[in-house]
């Protein structure tokens, strides 16, 4: 019997539903055993988030500093044929509970020489978070064979307001004049197709070494966001290092620094981001081939 481990952390419950959708076809098979590992911080995060508390975890998240976790309910000595690693994107980085899991001795044992499928549910920007995660998987000796990404249905512009409102109010659509945040339930349900393909491959003999999800629309790369993500990631790392140096999460100095940073971030979004988008549009004919190469790189290994 094939053994599959699903590692996940879902704060709002949306990623949990996505995990269940992908895994439903696997759970229906008699030749596949699926174990679930829900990663939980030792000190749970609030939801909805208080405004400054949300930003207070920014430095440790972007610097990928691990935090204490609740005991992991898993046998690290068990060998799995496949690990599905499901995560959210926080501040252009994998969520802190998931990066903390990757820093544990259990993860080192479970992932070494093991094929991994990453499963992302996020607003829209995931490229740099996946790059960070790929580096961690490589360091652990894991083999990334596929990537699945589902993003908010309301689009980039609307989600800029809709998603933070969800985080701060706990409601996906607190105001009727603003589109509903989150991934559409239809897309979540349609994600069962990935589980069907994974199950079909598991039914075959031999270790999983090649992508299983090509041609299924596992990812969509928005070329307009590539440059913005790179600039944002560099900025986040610089600010994260500075804010972490100011003191612990709830210190007065860090909170003052956070207020300055939030003002800077808003001004950046309202000025630099639109100008960058305009320049990219004007230069598009000159950079088309490079963009196509970058899209193919970020879409790998599953492809668009």
Helix axes 252-299, 226-246, angle to 10 degrees: 150
Q: What whole-number distance in Å separates Cα of residue 299 and Cα of residue 304?
A: 6
Q: Which long-range contacts (CB under 8 A, 24 or more apart) does 156-160 make?
A: 156/124, 156/222, 156/224, 156/225, 159/123, 159/124, 160/269
Radius of gyration of the chain (CA): 19
Report residues of the chain scoring pLDDT below 70. 272-273
Q: Which domains does the chain have, with CATH numbers?
A: 2-222 (3.40.50.360), 224-299 (no CATH)
Which tokens sit at 131?
């790059």
Which tokens sit at 262?
């939030």
Q: What is the mean pLDDT of the chain?
A: 92
Taking only the tens place, the pLDDT of each residue in 135-163 is 999 999 999 999 999 999 877 777 778 88
Q: What whole-number distance in Å separates Cα of residue 99 and Cα of residue 47?
A: 20
pLDDT of residue 273: 67
Taking only the tens place, the pLDDT of each residue in 219-264 is 999 988 888 888 889 999 999 999 999 998 888 999 999 999 998 8
In degrees and rounded to multiples of 5, residue 84 shows phi and psi of -100, 120
């Amino acid at each position: 019997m094939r053994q599959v481990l699903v590692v996940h952390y879902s704060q709002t419950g949306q990623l949990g539903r996505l995990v269940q959708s992908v895994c439903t076809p696997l759970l229906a098979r008699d030749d596949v055993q699926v174990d679930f590992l829900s990663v939980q911080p030792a000190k749970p995060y609030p939801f909805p988030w208080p405004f400054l508390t949300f930003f207070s975890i920014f430095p440790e998240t972007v610097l990928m500093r691990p935090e204490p976790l609740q005991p992991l309910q898993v046998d690290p000595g068990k060998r799995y044929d496949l690990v599905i690693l499901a995560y959210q994107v926080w501040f252009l980085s994998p969520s802190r509970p998931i990066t903390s899991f990757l820093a544990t001795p259990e993860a080192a044992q479970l992932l070494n020489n093991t094929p991994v499928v990453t499963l992302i549910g996020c607003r829209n920007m995931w490229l740099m978070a996946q790059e960070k995660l790929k580096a961690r998987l490589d360091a652990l000796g894991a083999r990334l064979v596929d990537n699945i990404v589902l993003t908010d249905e309301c689009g980039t512009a609307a989600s800029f307001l809709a998603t933070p409102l969800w985080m701060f109010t706990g409601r996906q659509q607190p105001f009727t004049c603003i589109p509903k945040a989150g991934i559409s339930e239809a897309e979540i349900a349609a994600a069962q197709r990935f589980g069907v393909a994974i199950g079909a491959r598991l039914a075959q003999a031999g270790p999983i070494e090649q992508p299983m999800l090509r041609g299924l629309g596992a990812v969509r790369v928005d070329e307009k966001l590539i440059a913005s993500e790179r600039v944002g990631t560099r900025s986040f790392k610089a600010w994260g290092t500075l804010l972490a140096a100011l003191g612990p999460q709830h210190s007065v100095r860090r909170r003052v620094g956070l207020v300055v940073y939030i003002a800077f971030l808003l001004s950046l979004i309202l000025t630099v981001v639109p100008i960058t988008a305009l320049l990219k549009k004007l230069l598009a004919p000159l950079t088309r081939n490079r963009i196509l190469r970058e899209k193919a790189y970020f879409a790998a290994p599953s492809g668009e």
